[in-house]
Amino acid sequence: MTTHADDLTQRIGAPVELAGVAVRRPSKVREGIDPALITTDATALLKRGDIDIAIEVIGGIEPARTLITTAFEQGISVVSANKALLAQDGAALHAAAEAGGRDLYYEAAVAGAIPLVRPMRESLAGDKINRVMGIVNGTTNFILDKMDSTGAGYQEALDEATALGYAEADPTADVEGYDAAAKAAILAGIAFHTRVRLDDVYREGMTEVSAADFASAKRMGCTIKLLAILERAADGESVTARVHPAMIPLSHPLASVREAYNAVFVEAEAAGRLMFYGPGAGGAPTASAVLGDLVAVARNKLAEATGPGESAYTQLPVSPMGDVVTRYHISLDVADKPGVLAQVATTFAEHGVSIDTVRQQGKDGEASLVVVTHRAPDAALSGTVEALRKLDTVRGVASIMRVEGE
Amino acid sequence: MTTHADDLTQRIGAPVELAGVAVRRPSKVREGIDPALITTDATALLKRGDIDIAIEVIGGIEPARTLITTAFEQGISVVSANKALLAQDGAALHAAAEAGGRDLYYEAAVAGAIPLVRPMRESLAGDKINRVMGIVNGTTNFILDKMDSTGAGYQEALDEATALGYAEADPTADVEGYDAAAKAAILAGIAFHTRVRLDDVYREGMTEVSAADFASAKRMGCTIKLLAILERAADGESVTARVHPAMIPLSHPLASVREAYNAVFVEAEAAGRLMFYGPGAGGAPTASAVLGDLVAVARNKLAEATGPGESAYTQLPVSPMGDVVTRYHISLDVADKPGVLAQVATTFAEHGVSIDTVRQQGKDGEASLVVVTHRAPDAALSGTVEALRKLDTVRGVASIMRVEGE
Ligand SMILES: NC(=O)c1ccc[n+]([C@@H]2O[C@H](COP(=O)([O-])OP(=O)(O)OC[C@H]3O[C@@H](n4cnc5c(N)ncnc54)[C@H](OP(=O)(O)O)[C@@H]3O)[C@@H](O)[C@H]2O)c1
Ligand SMILES: NC(=O)c1ccc[n+]([C@@H]2O[C@H](COP(=O)([O-])OP(=O)(O)OC[C@H]3O[C@@H](n4cnc5c(N)ncnc54)[C@H](OP(=O)(O)O)[C@@H]3O)[C@@H](O)[C@H]2O)c1
C-alpha cells in the first residue's frame, strides 16, 4: 500500500508539499497538521515566493476575494470552494487568473463531491447544453424529504435537520435559496458559455412550503423539491436561471433523491439526458473535489499550461422570471356558490393561461379549488394569480407552486 | 446564434478543420460531408503531414490498432471510441502515445455520452476509488428491463430489442457480456491505477436468465441486471473485475435504470457514493463524447501539453473470481421427504457458507428449495453448488444467481 501523499505524487508526476495553512484561530488544535505550518497571515504566506497553488476554503466575499487576487498577482494558481464569491465575482476572478496565466478551479463550489463543473466544461465541450435541473442544496433536500416522508411541517423538519447537523444555526443561506442560487449562477455560466451573476438568478426559498402542499403534491403523484433550473430559451437567444420549490412527478429521477444528497440533470443536444448524483456537501466529499482540482492544477503547472478558463463568448442575456415557461399548481379558498368556477376559469382565459385540471371540494359554504395549468409564461401565470386575488368569490390563495419535470 | 464549428473554435481557442474522412465504402452517400474529403486510405491520410488529431471510430482490433500506432508515430493525437481495442491493448497504446508525446482520449469507449472516464481519472484523482458497479451495456439492459416489465422470456425480449434496433443482428458481444467486460477492464484500470486487461475480467453473459429467475427476484424484492463490478479487496492488496447478471434490490438506484440507459456507481473513500447516468450508446451521444475529447485534445495541442496518460503505478494484481466475496440465490429441485433440508444445510455449513434465508415449496413428491446465502467467497459458493449437485436428494439446480447491491 502506498500512502496518500505518495498517491498524489504518482498522479501528479511530482511531489506536492503543504507549505502553510492560514487560519483565523491559531491556537485551535488541528490533528495531523504540523503546528509550525499554521499562520494567521494568509497574505504573507501567499507572498513568501515559493508557493505554486493556493486552496481557498475560507468562504464569504472578503478577505477571500482579495487573497485570491493576491495569489494570481503572485503567479499562484487557485483552487476554491467558494460559491458565493464565484457567483458574485466570477468574471473578475477569471480575468485575474488569465492575466496572471494561472488556473482557477472550483469543482467543490457546486454540488460538493459530484463531478459537475469538469464534466460540464470539459466532457460536454463539444455539445450544446439546453437545460440543467437539479437539487444542489443538501440541507433543504433533507428538510423537504423529512416533510414528505413523515408529514412534518417545515419548522419541525428544520429542527430535526439542525439537531442532526444538516442545517446550520442560521439556516437562511440554505432555506432562502441563496446557496442554491449561487450554484445556479455558476452552472448557468458554464452551461451556456455566458456570464450569469447571482443577481440574475430568480430566487424563492422553501420556508413557505407546508404539509398541506405535500398533501396536494401527493394527490397529483408528485413530491416537492427545491430546484435550480437553467434553460436556454426556445429561440436560443437568451437563457433563464431560477431557484424555487416545485412539484415534480414521483416517476422523475430527482423525486427519489433522499436526505442530503444532491443530483443534477443535464440535457444536451447530442448527449441527451445525463444525471450526476452524490453527496453535495460535507468535509470529506468537499475535500475530494478540492484534491481532484489540486491534482489537475499541479499537472497543468508541470506542463506549463493552464486548464480551460472562463468561456463566456455567447454573451447570451439572462431573461427575467416572467419569461420562463412553466406550470402552476394553485389552491384557492372560494365561496361555495354556483358560478365560481366559471369566474375563475374566465380569469385564467383572460390571461392566456390554459387549465390542465381543476379539483373542486366544498363543505359548509366554504370550498376550495385546486387548479393545475398547462405551460405558460410565468408573467401570465402570476398575472392570473393577481387577478384571482381580486375576485369577490375568491377568499384567498392558499398556495401557489410551480410544477416541473415533465 | 453561432454555428457549431464557431462554437468549437471558441471553446478550443483556434479553428478546427476536418482534413479527411477514411471509410471502407467510398461510394456511400454521406450527408453533410464534402466527397473530396473521403478516402479509403487511412494510412495515407495520417501520413499527409498536416494532421494534428485523428478520431478512430472503426472499431475492432485491426486495422484500428495499426492506424492508431501510425498516428502516434506521425505526432498525431488520437480520440478513440474503441473499447475492444483499449481493453486488449490499452497499455501498449498508452505507451505509444507517451513515446510520441501525444494524447490518447477515449471517453466514448465507456458508457457512451456519460462522462465517466474524465471524472474518474481527473475529478477523482485526489481520492481513492474502492468500488465501481454499473450497467454499462444498453442492449442487455433493454432486454432485461423488458423481461422484468412484461414477464417475457429471454428470446422474446431479444427479438423485440432486435426489431427496435437495440440489438445487432449478431448480439453475441452484448448478451455474452464481452462488450461490458471490455468496459469493465478499462474502468478498473482507471479506478485502481493498475493494468486490467479483458482476460482479467470474469465474464458471464445473460442468455440463461429466465422468466422464472425474474419471478424469484420479484419474491425477494429484487430485479435482475447485467452488472460490471470492480472492487478493491478488503486488504487493499488486489482488485477484482467481473461482469455477470445479478439480483439487486428494487430500492437500489441501479434497479430503476430502464430501457437502454446506462448508469454507473462509483464509491470513493472521501467522495462517498456517486452515480453517473445517461444514454450509453447511439450515434449522437457517442459523438458528444468524441467531440468533448476532441476539444480537450485540441486545447492540449495549443498549450503544447498533453492530458493525463495511463496511471498504473499501483500495479495491483487482479484476483480470480473465486476470491470475490458475494451472495448466491440458489433454486434447487429436491425430493419431498424429511431430512432434505438438513442435508442441504449441512452441505452449506461444510463449505463455510452461512445461509440467510430458505424457502421450501412442495407438491406431489417434488419440492423446491430456494436458498439465499450470506456473503462468502465465490469459490466457497460454487464449491457448495458442486456438492449440492452430488446429493441424492437434489434432483437438479434450477438456477444460481449472485445477489448484489446491499
Ligand atoms: N462545508 C461544506 O460542506 C462545503 C461544501 C462545499 C463548499 N464549501 C465552501 O467551502 C468554504 C468553507 O466552508 P466551511 O464550511 O469549511 O467553513 P468553515 O468551517 O467556517 O471554515 C472556514 C475556514 O477558513 C478559516 N478562515 C476564516 N477566515 C479566515 C481568514 N481571514 N484568514 C485565514 N483563515 C480564515 C477558518 O479558520 P479557523 O479554523 O481558525 O476558524 C476555517 O478553517 C465556503 O466557501 C463554503 O461555501 C463548503
Ligand atoms: N455505435 C455506438 O453506439 C457506439 C457507442 C460507443 C462506442 N462505439 C464504438 O465506436 C466504434 C464504431 O462503432 P459503430 O457502431 O459506429 O461501427 P460502424 O457503424 O461499423 O462504423 C464503422 C466506421 O468505420 C469505417 N471503417 C471500417 N473499416 C475501415 C477501414 N479499414 N478503413 C477506414 N474506415 C473503416 C466504416 O466505413 P463505412 O461507412 O464505409 O462502412 C464506418 O464508417 C466501435 O469501436 C464501437 O465500439 C460505438
- For residue range B309-319, list pLDDT tens digits in order: 999 999 999 99
User: Is a pLDDT exceeding 50 seen at residue A376?
Assistant: yes
- Alpha carbon distance A160, A157 (integer Å): 5
pLDDT band at A337 (very low <50, low <70, confident <90, very high): confident
- The set of cell numbers assigned to A160 is 430535526
Q: Which residues of A touch B289 (CB under 8 A)?
A: 123, 271
User: To which H or E segment does residue B117 belong?
Assistant: helix B117-118
B280: closest chain A residue by CA: A271
Residues of A designated catalytic: 183
DSSP string, A275-290: EEEEE--SHHHHHHHH
Please identify, by atom number, the ligand 2 atom nearest to the C-alpha of residue B23: 34
Mean pLDDT across chain A, nearest whole number? 95
Q: How far is B270 from chain A (nearest CA, A)?
A: 5
Q: What is the DSSP letter of A37?
A: G
Q: Which residues of B touch A277 (CB under 8 A)?
A: 253, 274-277
Task: Report the CATH fold assignment for B5-113+283-302.
Answer: Rossmann fold (3.40.50)
A232: closest chain B residue by CA: B1
Query: Ligand 2 atom 20: the closest Cα is on which residue?
Result: B58
Q: Are the C-beta atoms of B138 and B285 separated by less than 8 Å?
A: no
- Among B114, B46, B395, residue whose Cα is nearest residue A119: B114
- The closest ligand to the CA of A117 turns out to be 1
Q: B272 vs A118: CB contact, 8 Å cut-off?
A: no
Question: Between β-strands B325-335 and B394-403, what pairing exists: parallel, antiparallel or unpaired?
Answer: antiparallel
What pLDDT shows up at residue B63? 97
User: Is a pLDDT exceeding 80 seen at residue A364?
Assistant: no
User: Is a pLDDT exceeding 80 seen at residue A66?
Assistant: yes
Which of the listed residues B58, B83, B137, B293 should we mutate to test ligand 2's pocket, taking the one with most ligand atoms within 8 A of CB? B58
Q: B272 vs A291: CB contact, 8 Å cut-off?
A: no
Q: Are the C-beta atoms of A253 and B277 separated by less than 8 Å?
A: yes
Looking at the partner chain, which of A278, A295, A305 has a beta carbon nearest the beta carbon of B126?
A295
Q: Tens of pLDDT along B3-14? A: 688 999 999 999
What pLDDT shows up at residue A145? 97
Please identify, by atom number, the ligand 1 atom nearest to the C-alpha of residue A23: 34
pLDDT band at B337 (very low <50, low <70, confident <90, very high): confident
Q: Tens of pLDDT along A5-51? A: 899 999 999 999 999 999 999 999 999 999 999 999 999 999 999 99
Which of the listed residues B27, B33, B57, B83 should we mutate to test ligand 2's pocket, taking the one with most ligand atoms within 8 A of CB? B57
3-state helix, strand, coil in chain B (%, to 5): 40, 25, 35
What pLDDT shows up at residue B1? 41
- Alpha carbon distance B139, B57 (integer Å): 19
Q: Are the C-beta atoms of B234 and A1 separated by less than 8 Å?
A: no
Q: Are the C-beta atoms of A230 and A136 separated by less than 8 Å?
A: no
Q: Which residues of B touch A280 (CB under 8 A)?
A: none
Can you identify the CATH homologous superfamily of domain A117-279? Answer: Dihydrodipicolinate Reductase; domain 2 (3.30.360.10)
- Alpha carbon distance B349, B355 (integer Å): 8
Q: Say how many Å lie between the CA of residue B82 and the centre of ligand 2.
A: 9
Q: How far is A3 from chain B (nearest CA, A)?
A: 11
Q: How far is B224 from chain A (nearest CA, A)?
A: 20
Q: How high is the ipTM of this complex?
A: 0.93
- Per-residue b/e over A324-357, b at no fewer than 16 CB within 10 Å? bebbbbbbbebbeeeebeeebeebbeebebeeee
Query: For a pLDDT cut of 90, what percent of chain A falls above it?
Result: 93
Q: Tens of pLDDT along A180-227? A: 999 999 999 999 999 999 999 999 999 999 999 999 999 999 999 999
Looking at the partner chain, which of A2, A115, A268 has a beta carbon nearest the beta carbon of B119?
A115
User: Is a pLDDT exceeding 50 seen at residue B148?
Assistant: yes
Q: A122 vs B127: CB contact, 8 Å cut-off?
A: no
User: Is a pLDDT exceeding 80 seen at residue B214?
Assistant: yes
Q: Provide CATH code, domain B321-403.
A: 3.30.70.260
pLDDT band at A281 (very low <50, low <70, confident <90, very high): confident
Q: Say how many Å lie between the CA of residue B24 and the centre of ligand 2.
A: 10
Q: Tens of pLDDT along A71-87? A: 999 999 999 999 999 99
Judge if the beta carbon of residue A83 lies within 6 A of ligand 1: yes
Q: A295 vs B122: CB contact, 8 Å cut-off?
A: yes
Q: Tens of pLDDT along B70-112? A: 999 999 999 999 999 999 999 999 999 999 999 999 999 999 9
Domain A5-113+283-302 and domain A321-403, same fold? Reply is no
User: Is a pLDDT exceeding 90 seen at residue B406?
Assistant: no
Q: What is the DSSP letter of B318?
A: B
User: Is a pLDDT exceeding 90 seen at residue B362?
Assistant: no
User: Is a pLDDT exceeding 90 seen at residue A404?
Assistant: yes
Q: Which residues of B touch A10 (CB under 8 A)?
A: 193, 311, 313
Task: Tell me the average pLDDT across A99-123.
Answer: 96
Q: Which residues of B touch A306 (CB under 8 A)?
A: 303
Judge if the beta carbon of residue A24 lies within 6 A of ligand 1: yes
Q: Which residues of B touch A310 (CB under 8 A)?
A: none
Task: Tell me the average pLDDT across A281-288.
Answer: 94
What pLDDT shows up at residue A238? 97
Question: Between β-strands B202-203 and B239-249, what pairing exists: parallel, antiparallel or unpaired?
Answer: parallel
Looking at the partner chain, which of A7, A125, A284 has a beta carbon nearest the beta carbon of B270?
A284
Q: What is the DSSP letter of B256?
A: G
Best A122, A132, A192, A297 member to test B by mutation, with max B CBs in 10 Å, is A122
- Alpha carbon distance B312, B91 (integer Å): 9
What pLDDT shows up at residue A1? 41
Task: Tell me the average pLDDT across A147-158.
Answer: 96
User: Is a pLDDT exceeding 50 seen at residue B66?
Assistant: yes
Q: Which residues contact B224 (CB under 8 A, 6 or more apart)?
A: B144, B147, B148, B209, B213, B214, B217, B245, B246, B247, B248, B401
pLDDT band at A280 (very low <50, low <70, confident <90, very high): confident
Looking at the partner chain, which of B272, B276, B295 has a beta carbon nearest the beta carbon of A285?
B272
Domain residue spans of chain A: 5-113+283-302, 117-279, 321-403
Q: Tens of pLDDT along A163-178? A: 999 999 999 999 999 9
A270: closest chain B residue by CA: B284
Looking at the partner chain, which of B124, B127, B236 has a beta carbon nearest the beta carbon of A1?
B236
Residues with a CB atom less than 6 Å from ligand 2: B 22-25, 28, 42, 57-59, 63, 81-83, 108-109, 112, 281-282, 286
